Structure 1
Amino acid sequence: MKIQAGFCGLLLLLIAGAAEANIYAYTDSHGVVHLTNVPAGNSAYHMVMRTPKMPVATARADFNRVAKQQYQSLIHAAASRYGVSPALVNAVISAESGYNAGAVSPKGAIGLMQLIPATAARFGVSNSFSPAENINGGTAYLAHLLRKFSGDLRLAVAAYNAGSGAVIQAGYHIPPFAETQAYVPRVLAYYQRYLDGSSSGPSLGITGHGPTPVSASPQLIQVSSP
């Protein structure tokens, strides 16, 4: 089977523009090759290229807009399940991984919401690279922190980064760590941006019900292969 010139270039563009690490493909009955970095459970796709997992810092600098859209239904479902604003879940994912489900931090935090193994186990996450499990566990953790700190969004976000103990030791203030001091305003800025851009919830992180999930399709590149 011959593939038209330009296939490699398109493949490189898909890799360069995506935060997801792996490339999947299938050939349909008309001989058209379909490529995506977001197979979304479609069993017709099979992996054709594995690239190294993107570092968290790189992921933050280059949001995967396709993945961001693709994960909204999972985000809204988890937000509704645990009574957390979808805007807050999106804000944490934006700051933590830039919507890169394969992100791994130097400290061993994994996935979209950068769960450390202990937190993942605590909230029933067996595979932190699974977007559905990661979002569910991370959102459950956010809901726990919001309850623990009586709905104080700043303290809950600080605890997500530094741990509840650090916030309590700091006298129920943001701990005096440079990373946490920078992290809290970054998440809150994302949060406000998502609130301003949609009707996803009130100005606090706790909400009753999330909005209707946003539907999205995987990013596809079609290449004729006569």
Structure 2
Amino acid sequence: MKRVFILILFFLYSLALVSTVQSAIYKFVDEQGVIHFTDVVPSGVDYEVVRPDRSSFNKDSSLAESLSSYIDRICRKYSVDPELVKKIIKVESGWNPYAVSKKGALGLMQLMPETLKQFGVINPFDPYENIKAGVRYLRYLIDRFEGDLRLALAAYNAGPTTVDRYSGVPPYNETRQYIKTILYRYNKKTISNSKKRTQKIYRIYLDDGTVMFTNTSVYLRDLSSF
């Protein structure tokens, strides 16, 4: 059986967050079984459009609402709080399933090509594939950093090897602000009359030893707060 690899091909203008009106993403498979994504119409091969024009993207909350139950189900399977995943999606892509970052991160959860390959993603712009891989990746990072949510988020943003190299959160403004933003939203902090009200995040140890983070009482069992 051929091993299937993913090759992402983009011109510079498509490596920005999806802001171009004229481009679509085309998918084709070459003779070696390599899957290509490109913003140029392929010639001489069969292809399919996997990202429609920008005009077909609905910016309202309908996508978040329609994916909510799926996120809940996948998160329960991998013992990740769905509220955390939803906050990550909001910060990473603003619920745009066709988002492409300047660094080449793709889709709702802004996964890099090597991460997509690691978790067997065929179409990074498919919300279901992207979310499932993103949740699995987040679970992997939480486990790798022994339940330290700050380090897991730092690794999600800057890469796990970068966190290893600095033995902690790297001194990058982007990464530090990313952690602050995610935790702020996840904590559901509100500012009223210059006062902050913080909802606790709970660390839960499941029967199989898995560490889970949540800010909702539905999971409260054998927990500690921080």
What is the TM-score of this pair, normalised by structure 1? 0.60
1:94–1:190 CA contact under 8 A, matched in 2 = no
- Alignment-derived partner of residue 149 in structure 2: 153
Structure 2's unaligned 5+ residue stretches are 1-18, 22-51, 190-199, 204-210, 219-226
Instruction: Tell me if the contact between 1:64 and 1:100 (Cα under 8 Å) persists in the aligned partners.
Output: no
Counterpart CA distance in 2 for 1:174 and 1:100 is 27
Residue number in structure 2 paired with 1:32: none
* CA–CA separation in structure 1 for the residues paired with 2:64 and 2:185: 14
Q: Describe how 1:104-143 pairs up with structure 2 within 5 A.
A: 104-143=100-139
Cα–Cα, structure 1 residues 80 and 207, in superposed 2: closer, same or farther, change >3 Å?
farther
Quote the offset at 1:96 in angstroms.
0.2
Q: Of the candidates 171, 175, 198, which is equivalent to residue 170 of structure 2?
A: 175
Q: Which has the higher strand share?
A: 2
Distance 2:127 2:94 in 1: 13
* Number of equivalences: 151
| Residues 136, 51 of structure 1: alpha-carbon distance in 2 compared, 3 angstrom cutoff | same
2:54 counterpart (28, 45, 51): 51
Maintained 8 Å contact 1:82/1:139: yes
Q: For 1:53 and 1:145, locate their aligned partners in 2 and report how far apart those are by CA, in whole Å.
A: 34
Between the aligned residues of both structures, percent identity stands at 39
- Tell me, in whole angstroms, the C-alpha distance in 1 between the residues paired with 2:106 and 2:160: 19
Match of 2:212 in 1: 206
Contact 1:85 1:202 (C-alpha < 8 Å) held by counterparts: no
Moved runs in structure 1, 4+ residues, more than 4 A? Answer: none
1:76-114 CA-to-partner distances (Å, cap 9, x unmatched) read: 111011110111111110110011111111111111000
Equivalent residue in structure 2 for 1:75, among 55, 71, 78: 71
Contact 2:97 2:127 in 1 (8 A): yes
Q: Which runs of 5+ in 1 are unaligned?
A: 1-18, 22-48, 195-200, 212-226
Q: Quick one: higher RCO (CA 8 Å, sep 6+), 1 or 2? A: 1
Question: 2: distance between equivalents of 1:53 and 1:146?
Answer: 35
Deviations 1:104-127 (A, max 9, x none): 111111110001111011012111
Q: Which secondary structure state, in structure 2, belongs to the residue aligned with residue 206 of structure 1?
A: strand
Q: Residues 5-16 of structure 1 correspond to what in structure 2 (within 5 A)?
A: none
| Contact 1:53–1:102, Cα closer than 8 Å, also in 2 | no
